[in-house]
Structure 1
Amino acid sequence: MPTTHLLYLHGFRSSPQSFKAQQMADYVAAHHPSVHWWCPQLPPSPREAAQLLLAGTADWPRATTAVMGSSLGGFYASWFAQQRRCPSVLLNPAVFPARDLARYIGEQTAWHDPAEHFFFQPEFIDELQALDTHGLPAAAPELAFIAKGDEVLDWREMVARYPTAQIALQEGGEHALSDFARHIPRISAFLALP
């Protein structure tokens, strides 16, 4: 089935202004203008983020929805894919965010606007654990782009987390996937963008 509705989820401290989100939005607008695109600003609370995503996609057609996510957005994308039974594209996805983000409890700055601050609350760790779909079989096809050179997340954990996914494993690279543009045609084909 072609994807008619595409959700993009940014990472921790990131925003819809992220490099990859902008590139994907521009590509969809230029080459697949009939696709409904949504890249919301996610609240710091994982529980509130999940509620926002379910409410914002409540009227989307189940059979032709897909989700993409980068880093923490990849973790959310896996959760969303389980809820909607839809295909997912994961870009250096966070695998154990409850473990990894515990050291970020406290005041944080937004990556794209350092003047913008938010507080990462201790209870957000429990909220992340509540959204963890680790161990569940994939709800639908998955495509994961994983860089061995990721300086933030362990590529081995990412590969192990998605045993049935199509995996595009990069030698080198980095967490930001600065060569993201070259992967977009494969993503387009995987999602059957009309």
Structure 2
Amino acid sequence: MSAQQSANPSLLIYLHGFLSSPQSFKCRSMCDWLVRAHSDIAFAAPQLSPHPGKAMAVLTRLIDGRFAADADSRVGLLGSSMGGFFATVLAERYRLPAVLVNPAVRPARFMPAYLGQTLTPYSGEARDYRLTEADVDTMQQLEDELPQPLTSRYWLLAQRGDETLDCREAEVFYRGERQTVEDGGNHSFAGYERYRQPIIDFLFKQQ
């Protein structure tokens, strides 16, 4: 899902989770709603490789290209699960605001479990992936790049019923930042559409 073609000064970049895609519910929900409610905000949701180096290269080119075309452009990041981790790395590099939905916090420790496996995207994408030790090293380097305390502006959206990630880790990692942590829910973040307007307000009304 590419950026809407316009002269819009604002761009929302959605970063999907591991083995997910721009066709995920949260991504399409935000994209479709923006067309109706905020046509002044462009939207981009690139397909991200499970290989962290390739995923970061795609995102870096997107942001660099945006600022090269319009140095005054306002960019906000919305990341889910693994996309939340990538959003944090980019937020620190470019000093961008980011909303993180049930984000992965220390993903490098989970990656060795996937080594040697054939990974099939949940999206039904017609290809398979195999992670390597180099991917684990790259992810660790990205983790090591993050300062503590963080220096950009974040809003953590998390649900304690997340069956994939323990939201307590995110609560600690993003301590001092705005946090909304709900009881129940799931990894997809039940009721996500309730937060579409507040997400836009956070990312673009305070810049």
Is the structural similarity TM-score above 0.5?
Answer: yes
Aligned residue number for residue 19 of structure 1? 25
Distance, in Å, in 2 between the alignment partners of 1:158 and 1:187 is: 18
Contact 1:66 1:86 in 2 (8 A): yes
Other structure's SS at 2:61 match: helix
Aligned residue number for residue 93 of structure 1? 103
Identity %: 34
Contact 2:22 2:47 in 1 (8 A): yes
Other structure's SS at 2:123 match: coil
Please state if 1:119 is matched with 2:130.
yes
Name segments (4+ residues, structure 1) moved above 4 Å: none
Distance, in Å, in 1 between the alignment partners of 2:185 and 2:193 is: 13
The 5 A counterparts of 1:126-165 are 126-132=137-143, 133-165=145-177
Question: Which of these residues, 2, 10, 18, is aligned with residue 4 of structure 1?
Answer: 10
Q: String of CA shifts for 1:6-26, please: whole Å, max 9, x gaps.
A: 111000010000111111111
Q: TM-score, normalised by structure 2?
A: 0.86
Q: String of CA shifts for 1:17-62, please: whole Å, max 9, x gaps.
A: 0111111111112111121211000112111111111111213246
Partner letter of residue 132 of structure 2? Answer: Q
1:137 deviation in Å? 3.0
Aligned residue number for residue 180 of structure 2? 168
Distance, in Å, in 2 between the alignment partners of 1:54 and 1:140 is: 17
- Please identify, of 61-70 and 103-112, the stretch whose mean Cα deviation from structure 2 is larger: 61-70
How many residue pairs get aligned? The number is 192
Task: Select the structure with the greater relative contact order (CA < 8 A; seq sep ≥ 6).
Answer: 1
Contact 2:78 2:100 in 1 (8 A): yes
Contact 1:77 1:90 in 2 (8 A): yes
Contact 2:92 2:146 in 1 (8 A): no
Other structure's SS at 1:119 match: coil
Aligned residue number for residue 94 of structure 2? 84
1:115 deviation in Å? 5.0
- Structure 2: give runs of 5+ residues left out of the alignment: 1-8
Distance, in Å, in 1 between the alignment partners of 2:154 and 2:183 is: 20
Aligned residue number for residue 192 of structure 1? 204
Question: Which of these residues, 88, 107, 114, is aligned with residue 104 of structure 1?
Answer: 114
Please state if 1:35 is matched with 2:41.
yes
Distance, in Å, in 2 between the alignment partners of 1:60 and 1:82 is: 17
Contact 2:16 2:79 in 1 (8 A): yes
Aligned residue number for residue 57 of structure 1? 63
1:138 deviation in Å? 2.7
